[in-house]
Amino acid sequence: MTDDRDFAKKIVSYLDRGAADLKAGTAYKLQLARKAALDRLAEPAPELSPQWALAGADTGTIGGGRRYRLGAGLGLAALLAMGGIFGYQQWQAYQQLRDIADTDMAILSSDLPIDAYLDRGFQTWLKRVSDED
Number of domains, the chain:
2
Last residue of a domain, one of 43, 58, 75: 43
69 Cβ contact partners less than 8 Å away, ≥ 6 residues apart: 61
Give CA–CA dist 105/102, Å, rounded.
5
Residue 69 included in any domain: no
Residue 83 pLDDT class (50, 70, 90 cuts): very high
Is 79 a residue whose pLDDT tops 80? yes
Is 120 a residue whose pLDDT tops 90? no
Q: Is the pTM value of this prediction over 0.95?
A: no
Give CA–CA dist 72/94, Å, rounded.
33
Residue 50 included in any domain: no
Looking at per-residue confidence, does 4 or 53 come out higher? 4
With left for phi above 0 and alpha for psi between -120 and 50, is residue 65 left, alpha or beta? left
pLDDT of residue 13: 83
**Least confident residue range of 12-16, 49-53, 108-112:** 49-53
CA atoms within 13 A on the CB side of 25: 0
Is 82 a residue whose pLDDT tops 80? yes
Domain coverage including residue 116:
85-133
